[in-house]
Structure 1
């Protein structure tokens, strides 16, 4: 959450700068996205960029925000989800072949083992929850799941399901935020407020669902 707030503050400051604003205009960002996708193997290059970003431990909020700004909300959602899950699979493989001992060196208090134990005990449900409400950096969860041999099917499906709500909501929020900044009027601010309220409602519903799932386990 803190990281995402920093991203929003950074984007707002960039928007107010006359020099940077020309690169932040929705039309300019859309042209960048169209140019990328029009290149030979453009979509594959975009997905490869997401995989590289995951390997380099770029925060999920940044990946989603960039996808929404450059490709628009709905294409951005598709590319971001597929790209992040692809990166999750690659880093799962890295953890699988690096071994649990190497991965556990990242933790000084056994937190990696605790995370792995939760993933293996609760399987699909645990992965969905950890993706939706991250308790550790994205790449750390990925490599830990691989190193401790979390079931691959649960890992991929849980990653997709857990990442989808946040990706959709953040993408819609960024779309309405850029619209409000570009054309500040009652309509754009009203739609932005509606998205924020929807975001809050989804978060409240997911917390209740998570509590029920924990109780059932």
Structure 2
């Protein structure tokens, strides 16, 4: 049986854990910008180092895959800029299909880390501060979380890091979040990984996301909303009878 003294220590331990986690995330993000590590996560940086990266990948394939997945996880988990460049690098180094697979693993792991950080550090404060305003969003995620998340992942108009953080503030289950994220990012990841195979001909990320590609993503996102719309209209027709 847990004593009253042990119960009184639990909030302190929880607060200490949150403080340590917050400091760790803050230090990691600060170090990223202080040492200007973002210069390596740019199109010019990737092009400048592509020969060295190819040599290392060919010589140490398994290590390269592991490092790539971990690096991608850190970039996404800390909500750092550079996810698109990392996806290009994945296609360039590992090919369109395997690159998409490794990107999916790293991005899903990183998104889950960001989700848990947001839920663990921010959720209680946000619910106390904006609880009344979050009611409709919470209800929507609770009823149709999978379709909502699939739509948000498929349509690139919504920043990836923002979806991670906002999802962590809802009551969506982590399993639903992981599955919807993993499936929803496949089309976009493949487009960038495929483009990575033609790295030498790309001068801007805008060249990859053409209007036709954006339209395709929009249609995919709308398809993910079909179950929600069906339930909504089916419910209306039933109540009208």
| TM-score (normalised: structure 2) | 0.59
Q: How many residues align?
A: 185
Distance 1:63 1:23, change over 3 A: closer
Match of 2:119 among 89, 93, 96: 96
1:81 paired with 2:104, answer yes
Q: 2:155, 2:220 within 8 Å by CA — same for their partners in 1?
A: no
User: CA RMSD of the aligned region, Å?
Assistant: 3.8
Q: Report how far residue 29 of structure 1 moved.
A: 3.7
Q: CA deviation at 1:82?
A: 0.3
Decide whether aligned partners of structure 1 residues 131 and 203 sit closer, same or farther in structure 2, where only a CA change above 3 A counts. closer
- SS of alignment partner, residue 57 of structure 1: coil
1:37 maps to which of 61, 65, 68: 61
Larger radius of gyration: 2
Distance 1:212 1:38 in 2: 41
Q: Supply the distance in 2 between the matched residues of 1:80 and 1:31 (Cα, whole angstroms).
A: 20
Name the structure 1 match of 2:30: none
Structure 2 spans left out of the alignment, 5+ residues: 1-41, 232-241
Report if the CA contact (8 A) 1:104-1:113 is conserved: no
Q: CA deviation at 1:57?
A: 1.4
- Check whether the contact 1:32–1:70 (CA below 8 A) recurs between aligned residues: no
Alpha-carbon contact 1:50-1:84 (below 8 Å) kept: yes
Task: Pick closer, same or farther for the CA change 1:138–1:163 going to 2, 3 Å.
Answer: same
Partner of 2:89: 66
TM-score normalised according to structure 1 size: 0.64
Gaps of 5+ in 1: 1-9, 182-191
Q: Distance in 2 between matches of 1:196 and 1:136?
A: 16
Instruction: Output the CA distance in 2 between the equivalents of 1:85 and 1:57.
Output: 13
Shift of 1:94: 1.3
**Aligned CA distance change for structure 1 residues 137 and 103 (closer, same or farther; 3 Å):** farther
* Residue from 166, 174, 183 that aligns with 1:152: 174
Between the aligned partners of 2:142 and 2:68, the Cα distance in structure 1 is 32
1:206 to 214, 217, 220: 220
Deviation at 1:208, TM superposition (A): 4.9
Q: Which residue of 1 aligns with 2:199?
A: 178
Distance in structure 1 (CA, Å) of the matches to 2:73 and 2:154: 19
